[in-house]
Structure 1
Amino acid sequence: MFELAVNVMTSIDIQGHCNPRFEPVREAFACLMESTGELGASCAIYRQGELAVNLWAGTFNKNGDPWQQNTLANVFSVSKAVTAICVQKAVELGALELERPVADYWPEYGRNGKKHTLVSWFLNHRAGQPALKTPLPDDALYDWERMTETLATEEPWWEPGTRHGYHMISYGWLVGEVFRRAVGISVAAFLQQEIALPLGLDMCFGVSEADFSRLADLKAANQSPAPGRVSLFNHVMEHPGSMTAKALLNPMSVMNGANTPEWRRAEIPSANLHSTAQALATLFGNLACREGLLQDQTLKQCYQVQSEGLDPVLLTETRFGPGFMLQQPGSVEAEFGPGPNAFGHPGAGGALAFADPDQELGFAYTMNKMGPYVLIDPRPRKLIDALYHCL
């Protein structure tokens, strides 16, 4: 990842707008930009039918150009939640059934102990394929057929359905391929056709080269997590043959490819959504405010617990619904806010988006300086705390 140019500023210029009720959020955002070494970031909040907060500041690329309202950031695993929204929409349209065997849609997948794997297990991380066992070269990451064929051929790490473990990158090809087989188009195309274009959302899987100039360049994390927080990097260094290491490093381009044209052009529904914070907050706000994207009964399914407990991949407690990470009350790492039904997803490095139906709000945070945390980064955590203080 690039070493980004950093403008030396004694006072950060915060752009955008903020409803006066949420002034503490603007103050917290300004504090983050001035005191944490943040390079560029954006925070947006959609509440009760309006975009109440839409802030951005700092620089977005290696040249030190100012972050703009339309700057697109790679939000890594926030992608999983957006993919899950596409899946739920496809279910409502009658194109896909979650409790059917994957092999009904994708016959080649039903080999080597996977005949009875259900579509829902791809979403809730119970499919037993959190990592690829076959060593793959870097360019395989961008070869859809190679990745899906490899997953279809391999044996699972555990009997599908019996436990859960975070499908860090494999989620994208597993969910994406069964979706393509059932629906007839890719997740990327469906997102544009059924969600992004109708709602006017600036987000996509697979960025056109015409939009490359708007993309935030990511700066790799250069610090360790706070004491008591899990360090996947340390675990991988100590256990290079572990399931966690293979999830992170096979292929290696999972870790070092995000600023490349190949990554940006690709469709990886688990990891390479590029979006503005405004678009994410609006999307999750639409769900939280019940504005019609999904039916009420579908929405309730989004925050039903389907997997929980110690995660053998992330090495910490996790809780999942059908593609969404769910609340872990009392956990600074995994609690979106006080609302018991909040659902969404953090992304590697610090990105975050979630919906809180009880408060009718959608929240999003995007940035380009990567942090080292496994679940919710302390930076959006400070913004979330300020947000709920206003309610």
Structure 2
Amino acid sequence: MTTSDRFRPATDAFLALVDDGTERGGAFAVMQNGQVIAEAWGGTESAAGTPWDHSTRVQVFSAGKPFVALAALLAVKEGPLTLDDPIRTWWPDYRDDASSPTTLRMILCHTSGKHAFPATNQVSLFDSTGLIRLIADSAPATTPGALLVEHAATYGHLVDGVLAAVGAPSVAERAVELNTALGVRLHFGIPPQEQDGIATLEAAAPGWEARYLETEVARAALLHPPGLLDLSVLASETWRAASFPAVGLITDALSLATFYDDVHRDDGVVAALLGDELHRALLRPSAVGFDEFVRSDVEWSLGLRVEGGELGMGGIGGSSAWYSRRFDYAMAYVTRGLIDHARADRVADVVEACLASDD
């Protein structure tokens, strides 16, 4: 544990969740100005009882989407990919609306119209090439650029398809570069021999997934390809070794907090990698309106939710990470117990109360 006396109440709040069983296994980390000001972990990595420790990693679902976007933006920085030319400039096999061609910007801000894989059992969850081909061959469900729908499962395969078309590093390959640049642990696919210390996801309440499947849009997005919410599948070596970037990032709380402590800075590592223009595009709204998947008004940048004085991203089940402009801190909360974000919110409320006490 790494916590100053000032933030001891935040650590206590987290450990209370562990003690009463609300948190079965997880961690949180808070950073400010490059320093860890609060960090704690607790519970177990699985029902077998292995204690969660500082090195434990876990799948964080959509909290990994910003790193998918970063892979795309770095390819734009390096060329010849652009944000606003038609995708078919580089990917001729991409099926599109001729009257309103899809751009990379539309994919990154969730308006491409390809927000769900076609319903089929013919392509495996683990077949990245097949899934890229499947989404490329499908017609947009809505006119590209017209409707906001988070690309819950398709985001990573769309980006990987574009990256492959221009010969740029894949999302998984770019994550390796980011690990070195930022000093973090981001993994889209881990070989079986390196899978020790990965927490096993489990339901924190019966029917946990029902709250995420209440609409036809959500069911289309999360039930195809089959297995995305099957906890036995997500615990398998095959899944953990596969790269499914929209939901498959395996990481830890400190890595996510480190990213958010850096990404907002004009003098940060991410800013230096992207350059001024693309860094600004990552941080400012690019699509604003009602998101049919999220079921609320959102402001999407090219990879982040940026409304309300915060920039960040959460994943279904409870993992999330963000930077708060109001309180000037970065925080991540990761968990293996799938239900909702109430645990992260409870700890964050205490963190912000500690920060506000000095105002």
- Same fold at TM > 0.5: yes
Q: Is the 8 A contact 1:112 1:154 kept in 2?
A: no
Secondary structure (helix, strand or coil) at the match of 1:68 reads: coil
TM-score (norm 1): 0.83
Q: Distance in 2 between matches of 1:361 and 1:37?
A: 25
How far the C-alpha of 1:99 sits from its partner, in A, is 1.4
Could you tell me which amino acid in structure 2 is paired with residue 128 of structure 1? G
Q: Deviations over 1:41-93 (max 9, x none)?
A: 10011210112222111101231100011101000001101222333333333
2:2 pairs with 1:17:
yes
How far the C-alpha of 1:188 sits from its partner, in A, is 0.7
Paired position in structure 1 for 2:257: 281
Q: Distance in 1 between matches of 2:82 and 2:264?
A: 24
Paired position in structure 2 for 1:378: 342
Q: Is the 8 A contact 2:71 2:170 kept in 1?
A: no
Q: Is the 8 A contact 2:112 2:140 kept in 1?
A: yes
How far the C-alpha of 1:301 sits from its partner, in A, is 2.2
Paired position in structure 2 for 1:365: 333
Give aligned pairs, total: 348
Judging changes above 3 Å, is the alpha-carbon distance between structure 1 residues 94 and 83 closer, same or farther for their aligned structure 2 residues?
Answer: same
Q: Deviations over 1:159-211 (max 9, x none)?
A: 11011111110111011211232352211111112x10232212211112222
How far the C-alpha of 1:114 sits from its partner, in A, is 8.2
Could you tell me which amino acid in structure 2 is paired with residue 298 of structure 1? L
Unpaired stretches in structure 1, ≥5 consecutive residues: 1-15, 237-241, 330-339
How far the C-alpha of 1:279 sits from its partner, in A, is 1.0
Could you tell me which amino acid in structure 2 is paired with residue 324 of structure 1? L
Q: Is the 8 A contact 1:41 1:365 kept in 2?
A: yes
Within a 5 Å distance, the mapping from 1:208-287 to structure 2 comes to: 208-223=191-206, 231-233=211-213, 235=214, 242-256=216-230, 257-287=233-263
How far the C-alpha of 1:125 sits from its partner, in A, is 0.6
How far the C-alpha of 1:358 sits from its partner, in A, is 5.8
How far the C-alpha of 1:108 sits from its partner, in A, is 0.7
Paired position in structure 2 for 1:69: 54
Could you tell me which amino acid in structure 1 is paired with residue 93 of structure 2? E
Secondary structure (helix, strand or coil) at the match of 1:142 reads: coil
2:167 pairs with 1:199:
no
Within a 5 Å distance, the mapping from 1:270-309 to structure 2 comes to: 270-289=246-265, 290-294=267-271, 295-309=275-289
Paired position in structure 1 for 2:168: 184
Judging changes above 3 Å, is the alpha-carbon distance between structure 1 residues 134 and 69 closer, same or farther for their aligned structure 2 residues?
Answer: same
Judging changes above 3 Å, is the alpha-carbon distance between structure 1 residues 284 and 157 closer, same or farther for their aligned structure 2 residues?
Answer: same
Q: Is the 8 A contact 2:25 2:44 kept in 1?
A: yes
How far the C-alpha of 1:318 sits from its partner, in A, is 3.0
Unpaired stretches in structure 2, ≥5 consecutive residues: none
Q: Deviations over 1:227-283 (max 9, x none)?
A: xxx9333x25xxxxx332121111221111311222101111111110011111111
101-110 or 350-359, larger mean C-alpha shift = 350-359
Q: Deviations over 1:8-45 (max 9, x none)?
A: xxxxxxxx111222222112212222235211110011
Q: Distance in 2 between matches of 1:117 and 1:343?
A: 25
How far the C-alpha of 1:149 sits from its partner, in A, is 1.0
How far the C-alpha of 1:135 sits from its partner, in A, is 1.4
TM-score (norm 2): 0.90
104-113 or 52-61, larger mean C-alpha shift = 104-113
Q: Distance in 1 between matches of 2:246 and 2:117?
A: 14
Q: Is the 8 A contact 1:114 1:160 kept in 2?
A: no
Judging changes above 3 Å, is the alpha-carbon distance between structure 1 residues 111 and 300 closer, same or farther for their aligned structure 2 residues?
Answer: closer
Could you tell me which amino acid in structure 2 is paired with residue 365 of structure 1? Y
Paired position in structure 1 for 2:143: 159
Q: Is the 8 A contact 1:114 1:155 kept in 2?
A: no
Could you tell me which amino acid in structure 2 is paired with residue 386 of structure 1? V
Q: Distance in 2 between matches of 1:114 and 1:41?
A: 48
Within a 5 Å distance, the mapping from 1:295-334 to structure 2 comes to: 295-327=275-307, 329=308
Q: Is the 8 A contact 2:212 2:316 kept in 1?
A: no
Q: Is the 8 A contact 2:113 2:141 kept in 1?
A: yes
Q: Is the 8 A contact 2:97 2:143 kept in 1?
A: no
2:90 pairs with 1:100:
no
Pairing partner for 1:35 from 17, 20, 23: 20
Q: Is the 8 A contact 2:202 2:336 kept in 1?
A: yes
Judging changes above 3 Å, is the alpha-carbon distance between structure 1 residues 203 and 292 closer, same or farther for their aligned structure 2 residues?
Answer: closer
Paired position in structure 1 for 2:312: 344
Q: Is the 8 A contact 1:179 1:186 kept in 2?
A: yes
Q: Distance in 2 between matches of 1:106 and 1:182?
A: 8
Judging changes above 3 Å, is the alpha-carbon distance between structure 1 residues 297 and 115 closer, same or farther for their aligned structure 2 residues?
Answer: closer
Within a 5 Å distance, the mapping from 1:123-138 to structure 2 comes to: 123-137=108-122
Secondary structure (helix, strand or coil) at the match of 1:305 reads: coil
Q: Distance in 1 between matches of 2:145 and 2:185?
A: 36
- Aligned identity (percent) is 25
How far the C-alpha of 1:352 sits from its partner, in A, is 0.5
RMSD: 2.2
How far the C-alpha of 1:154 sits from its partner, in A, is 1.0
